[in-house]
């Protein structure tokens, strides 16, 4: 049983690391703000869950497990809200997504 847990945790961690790397690359390479936003969003939510899950499995029962859960919960709440607020204020500030031809009538 314990080897399965360590295997699972290392699997999650690796997957998480890969996701982060791809997200980071996306933030750099994407042309427009909103696409970068998407890339960042991916890393913020998915990768965080994977890595924290991996850490949880790695740490076993105890206070650290609870703290990790708390962190996961917290990031889960704040991550999307922050991105939402960011997108909202970007739109409010007059930034238009690329290739959005509908902005003339909506203005």
In the complex, which residues of this chain contact other proteins (CB under 8 A)? Answer: 9-10, 13-14, 16-18, 20-21, 23-25, 27-28, 33, 36-37, 40, 43-44, 47-48, 51-52, 54-55, 58-59, 62-64, 67-68, 70-71, 74-75, 77-79, 81-86, 88-90, 92-95
Q: Cα dist. 18→46, 47, 99 in Å?
A: 11, 8, 30
Nearer Cβ to other proteins (26/105): 26
- The nearest distance, CB 4 to other proteins, in angstroms, is 15
- The nearest distance, CB 99 to other proteins, in angstroms, is 16
Nearer Cβ to other proteins (12/104): 12
Q: Cα dist. 107→18, 35, 96 in Å?
A: 40, 22, 11
* CB contact at 8 A, 59 and 46: no
Distance CA 93, CA 105 (A): 18
Nearer Cβ to other proteins (54/102): 54
Report phi then psi at 62, rounded to 5. 140, -175
């Amino acid at each position: 049983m314990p080897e399965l847990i360590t295997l699972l945790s290392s699997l999650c961690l690796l997957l998480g690391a890969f996701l982060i790397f791809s997200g980071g690359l996306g933030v750099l390479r994407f042309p427009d703000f909103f696409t970068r936003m998407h890339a960042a969003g991916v890393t913020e939510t998915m990768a965080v869950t994977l890595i924290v899950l991996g850490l949880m499995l790695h740490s076993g029962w105890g206070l650290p497990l609870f703290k990790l859960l708390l962190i996961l919960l917290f990031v889960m709440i704040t991550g999307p809200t922050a991105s939402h607020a960011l997108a909202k204020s970007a739109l409010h500030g007059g930034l238009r997504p690329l290739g959005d031809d509908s902005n003339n009538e909506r203005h």
